[in-house]
Structure formats: structure tokens, C-alpha cells
Amino acid sequence: MVDTRPFLPVSSHAGSDPTGPSENRRKPMKLQLSIFFVLLTVGFFAALLTSNNGSDNGFVKENEHGSLASPSSEKQLRPVSRGPAVGVSEKSNRLFAKDNENQLAYPWNNSMLSWQRTAFHFQPEKNWMNDPNGPLFYKGWYHFFYQYNPHAAVWGDIVWGHAVSKDLIHWLHLPLAMVADQWYDKNGVWTGSATILPDGKVVMLYTGSTTENVQVQNLAYPADHSDPLLINWVKYSGNPVLVPPPGILDKDFRDPTTAWLTSEGKWRITIGSKINKTGIALVYDTKDFINYELLDGILHAVPGTGMWECVDFFPVSKTEENGLDTSVNGPSVKHVVKASLDDDRHDYYSIGTYHEKNGTWIPDEPKIDVGIGLRYDYGIYYAAKTFYDQNKNRRVLWGWIGESDSEAAEMQKGWASVQSIPRTILFDKKTGTHLLQWPVEEIESLRLKSYEFNQVKVQAGSVVPLDVGPATQLDIIAEFEIDNEALEKTTGSNVTFSCSSSGGTVERGALGPFGLLVLADDSLSEQTPVYFYIAKGSDGKLKTFFCNDQSRSSVASDVNKQIYGNLVPVLEGEKLSLRVLVDHSIVESFAQGGRTVITSRVYPTKAIYGAAKLFLFNNATEASVSASLRIWQMNSAFIRPYPNDKESQ
């Protein structure tokens, strides 16, 4: 039966009120003034970011031969916009379609599309998935909730899917956790976060889109806290508990964080928003998760960054190798603020100092503030959320990996999107500016046969095949050493290098590119290079870039072929190192222990099944490299419905 005392002491204001929450207190007339002051003081440093939108829709269907093609061979692919009209970020797969650029449907067949489904990344059995929601560890089970469309492989009709796992790798699908059945979430049960209270009970705050498309915050809790699977959820009768405050637009108020305890014994959360083009994080205190007080100021604001979605806030230790509970604070702790930018659909983070008394946070390095500096991932990765795993004393990061093929192809295969392999996240004590992300250790349980290659010499301009059998499911760890004599002799240049705009692997430099060719066929007509490029400046200083080149990843015309990447710090005495997880249509790459990470979706037509191969390459003009690798074939994870008899797994 339903727990009648689900969380903290129940307020006397418990009735359902369609005009707003039972009580939302705030200090008089200070929100607009505080925001205005912030805008004045930082406005001079604004750097406007640009956003790009796609085009119209084109209908594509399967022909009599089982291939995906347009009704007319001249029909253009123009994906319809999904999401922004109702107040969330763009959810259509528009990355590959540039403005005024016509795209034709590639004739995908069912064999190609079936190969794209991943083997050990989490995804539902069918249909659309996006943001991770409310992850937590509870009574021996990891719980994962996610944005889900139960009706189609495109965004819409969003509810909460739910799955559980003992190890973050093998998953059991449970019934939907929450559906859109109330006036305050009728247009979507959107993103939210879980908080575990001191007595072990769970509360969930989530954004609902009302019948009038107003973004409000709602409270839910398990119907039975003794159920380790948390199958049934109850929505608080007094929802919504928060509505947009004065000065905040109806569609600019979403995605509450996990709550943390203050020294006064109050719970504190932050919610993403914006004022004009300034991204902000509002701060609320509560004692019972029903009544809230809006703090005078804001957690942080960065002009020019636009709407902040899926804000995350958490501590990291400067001294320990473990993760920290969200409420931990103190002199040995730094705090991370992360925001998903609606304007460009990337996740940015920054490390800084949290001031509990006034609920503000200040970045250590303003030049790499939230939205203008470091990203979790330089590929396709969005709406990320962390949780503290008290089972193993670690902070675990989840992220949504969207598609970058055509929407028509997704409708043909019947599903869209995957989740990243969960990553541990730690403060990088060596740089002091970066986080380190690394696949959770449990992924190693899927390793099968291994192959070792020691000190493989790769001459300038050469490609070396690595005989590891089929290369569609791999875990690769590699180190590279570049010829020191070439490093010293190479003349510096004033030319500025960029992964995205410097031509990819076909543009040869003295010291790069070099690395791996994954998901490549024997003829190299399809290949996805994961590589380093070392640029030597006119001052003789070296800068190392970590990149992923999709320009020749597929012969298909209707997929994204961007080149991803960014600078990666390489400190004195460090070898160049990378780890790559290859899982059919997803490639997750980690450089220098996870300082820089790139995730790609890749859709080859030839380099699939047994034809997928792995190569070393060195396209530098002056330097040879030596590579040492250990490579594992990877087993598939068990991701299936929970058994009807509900026996423990």
C-alpha cells in the first residue's frame, strides 16, 4: 500500500491547487534586482553564442526491396523540428542537415539498420529515448529512469521509462514509472532528479509541462519504500510545488537537480533558466520538498549562453580518489556546475568555489566558465546527469547519445538514441582545471579474448592492420610515443589548428595525425579515425589535440560527417594514451585518462559485421610513432524485460 508519510513532515497545505504550489515563499522583490545586478556586472564580458536550426520534413518509406528510400528519388530529407515549440531543446536529428543543403535518403536495407543496434550500451527495446532521469542506487539495485516516447521512434508523448541493474551493465526493463496523466504534466513528464533522505526514503522532483505548456516542478515518491524495484510511483496531491517565479518565462524553468543539505539543515536545489540570452541557475531552499524559498541571488549566470537545461551541481574531492555525496562541503572540496546549453546542444562544465551562505558559485577560471569553456564530451552527448553511488563511493555520470542519421531511417529501424556507458567522474588533480571521466569498472566484465601489440612501429604515411577479428565490439587501450628527434627538429608554425576545421586526417602535418582507424573496411572506403595531432607553435611550444574524423565514416549521404575534438592537456612525462569503446554504431573515446572525451555515432554501410576492421595509422609527414595496445573483444550485455515471476537476478 501507499506510504502515507513518504518524505519529510507533511505541510498543512496539501490540497491540489491548479493555480500554483501550496506555498512558494521568496524574499520580497529581490529576484529581478539580483539578476539585474548580475547582468550589469558581467554584461561587459558577454560572448554571444550562435545557434542553428534545421529545415522542414520529408516523408520516407520502405520500398518493395526492403530498403529505405523516398517516394521519389528526388525527394529531399528535411527533418521536422521537434521540441522547441513546447519549450525544450531541439530533439530532431538535424546535425547532418545544414541550412540550404539538400539531403537525399540513402537506400538503407534492414541488414544495415539491424547492425546499428548496440550490444552493451543501454537502450529500450524500441522507440525514442532522450535525457537520463533520477539515477540512484537503492536497496541493492541501480535505478535508471529516462525520457521515453512509448509510441514512436521520434520525440513526443514523453513519459518516464525505468530499468534496474545490479552492475550498471546488465539491465532489466520495468513498467513505465510515470506517465503524463495530470494537468500539471499532461504535455510531458520531463527531466528530474532523485534525492535520498537520511532515513533512506526517496523523493523525486521533475519538470512537468502543463496543459497550457507552462513548465512547473512536481514532487513524486515511491508508493512502497520497501520495494527494492520502486515499481509504483505516487505524484504528490498538491503538485506543482514550484511555478516560474516573476521575471522568468513560462517555458524557461526546468530540470531540478538532486537536493543537498545546507549547514542549517535545509535542502537546496537549483533549476535552469535564462534572462534574455543570459543562462542562469536559480536556487531554492526547502525543509519538506513541498514549500520552497527562492534565494535572493542565483547560483551562477553566464551572459550569451542562452537557456540552461539539465543543470547539475556536485562536489569533487581535491585529495581523495572517491566520489562525494552531493551534500559534502569543506576546504578539500571543489564544486562543479554543469549546464546543457539549449542553443548548441552541448554539455559544459566548470570547476569552482561554492559559497553556501548566499547560495552562489564562482568559477576558478572565468575564461573557461560554464558554456564558454570545457565540455564533458566533444561529440554527441547531452543532458548529462550525475548521481552519488553510495554502494561504491563514486560519482557516476550518465549522458544521452542522440542519433545523427536521418529521422526516416530511425522510423524504419524502430528506435532512436542510446545512453553512454556510465562514467566515473573525478577532479583532475594534475591540471586542476579538468574532470576525469572513465567507463565504470563493471564494463570490464564483458571483456572476452584479448590481443596485445607491443611497440608497433608506424612509419610516417603508413597504415598497419591489427588482426583482432571482427571489430564491431571492442575495448581498446593504447599508448603512443612519437619520435623525439622529429619533435625537436620540426619547425614551429603560426597556423592555428582546430579538429573541426583543419581538414581531418587527410590534412597532414609534421607531427600528426596518428592513431586508430575504427569501423573500417579492408579498402578503407569507410573508416572512423580516432587520433592525436600535435601542433608546434612558432614559440616552439607543443599543443596536443584529440580528434575524431567522421568525414569518411560512411558512404551514406544522409548521416552526420562532422569532425569532433579539442585540445587535450598532456603533462610532462606523460605518454599519449587513449581508450576507445566500439559498440556497433557508437564510439566512445577517452584521451589522457579521460581529460578529453569524444562520443560519435557512426553509420557505415560496408564496415559492418565481419567486415569491420581495426587499423593503426600515421599520417604525419616527419615523425614515426610507436604504439602499444591491448584490445578485447566485448561480449553483449543482457538488457531485457524483468521476468514475470520477478525472481532476483
Are 292 and 241 within 8 A, CB to CB? yes
As given in the structure block, the three cell numbers for residue 256 are 531540478
The predicted-structure confidence for 317-361, as pLDDT tens digits, reads as follows 999 999 999 999 999 999 999 999 999 999 999 999 999 999 999
Question: Which of 392, 418, 439 is at the close of a domain?
Answer: 439
Domain-embedded: residue 21: no
**Is 131 part of the annotated catalytic residue set?**
yes
Buried b (16+ CB within 10 A) or exposed e, 86-104: bbbbbbbbbbbbeeeeebb
What's the pLDDT score for residue 95?
Answer: 52
Q: Is the pLDDT of residue 252 over 90?
A: yes
Could you tell me the pLDDT band of residue 306, with boundaries at 50, 70 and 90?
very high
Rounded mean pLDDT of 157-178?
98
Domain-embedded: residue 316: yes
Rounded mean pLDDT of 419-426?
98
Which of 3, 99, 131, 181 is flagged as catalytic? 131
What's the pLDDT score for residue 37?
Answer: 43
Domain-embedded: residue 167: yes
- Clarify whether residues 529 and 380 are in a common domain: no
What's the pLDDT score for residue 50?
Answer: 37
Range of the domain at 542: 446-634
Domain-embedded: residue 305: yes
What's the pLDDT score for residue 465?
Answer: 98
Could you tell me the pLDDT band of residue 8, with boundaries at 50, 70 and 90?
low
What's the pLDDT score for residue 562?
Answer: 93
Any idea which residue has 556507458 for its cell?
421
- Clarify whether residues 617 and 578 are in a common domain: yes
Higher pLDDT, 102 or 628: 628
Rounded mean pLDDT of 549-560?
94
- Clarify whether residues 416 and 450 are in a common domain: no
Q: Is the pLDDT of residue 517 over 90?
A: yes
Rounded mean pLDDT of 134-158?
97
Q: Is the pLDDT of residue 621 over 80?
A: yes
Could you tell me the pLDDT band of residue 102, with boundaries at 50, 70 and 90?
low
What's the pLDDT score for residue 492?
Answer: 79
How much of the chain, in percent, has pLDDT values that exceed 70? 85
The predicted-structure confidence for 372-411, as pLDDT tens digits, reads as follows 999 999 999 999 999 999 999 999 999 999 999 998 899 9
Question: Which of 439, 465, 480 is at the close of a domain?
Answer: 439
Q: What is the DSSP letter of 31?
A: H
Distances (CA, A) of 41 to 44, 46, 197, 217, 544: 7, 10, 38, 30, 35
Domain-embedded: residue 646: no
The domain spanning residue 467 has which CATH number? 2.60.120.560
Q: How many whole angstroms separate alpha carbon 82 and alpha carbon 402?
A: 13
- Clarify whether residues 236 and 148 are in a common domain: yes
Question: Which of 375, 409, 439 is at the close of a domain?
Answer: 439
The domain spanning residue 417 has which CATH number? 2.115.10.20
- Clarify whether residues 332 and 197 are in a common domain: yes
Higher pLDDT, 538 or 228: 228
Rounded mean pLDDT of 111-121?
97
Q: What is the DSSP string of 167-182?
A: SSSSEEEEEEEE-S-S
Buried b (16+ CB within 10 A) or exposed e, 273-304: bbbeebbbbbbbbbebbbbbbbbebbbbbbbb
Rounded mean pLDDT of 411-417?
95
- Mean pLDDT across the chain: 88
Are 405 and 418 within 8 A, CB to CB? no
- Clarify whether residues 389 and 456 are in a common domain: no
Q: Is the pLDDT of residue 648 over 90?
A: no
Domain-embedded: residue 48: no
- Clarify whether residues 381 and 243 are in a common domain: yes
What's the pLDDT score for residue 4?
Answer: 47
- Clarify whether residues 435 and 459 are in a common domain: no
Q: How many whole angstroms separate alpha carbon 512 and alpha carbon 486?
A: 11
- Clarify whether residues 205 and 334 are in a common domain: yes
What's the pLDDT score for residue 78?
Answer: 67
How many structural domains is the chain composed of? 2
Q: What is the DSSP string of 520-588?
A: E-TT-SS-EEEEEEEEEBTTS-EEEEEEEE-TTS-S-SSS---EEEEE----TTPPEEEEEEEETTEEE
What's the pLDDT score for residue 607?
Answer: 97
As given in the structure block, the three cell numbers for residue 626 are 610507436
- Clarify whether residues 411 and 517 are in a common domain: no
The predicted-structure confidence for 330-341, as pLDDT tens digits, reads as follows 999 999 999 999
Could you tell me the pLDDT band of residue 611, with boundaries at 50, 70 and 90?
very high
Could you tell me the pLDDT band of residue 5, with boundaries at 50, 70 and 90?
low
Buried b (16+ CB within 10 A) or exposed e, 335-354: bbbbbbbbbbbbbbbbbbeb
Domain-embedded: residue 52: no
Domain-embedded: residue 362: yes
Q: Is the pLDDT of residue 58 over 60?
A: no
Q: Edge-to-edge strand order for the sheet containing 108-109?
A: 61-62, 67-69, 108-109
- Clarify whether residues 408 and 462 are in a common domain: no
Rounded mean pLDDT of 429-457?
98
- Clarify whether residues 351 and 467 are in a common domain: no
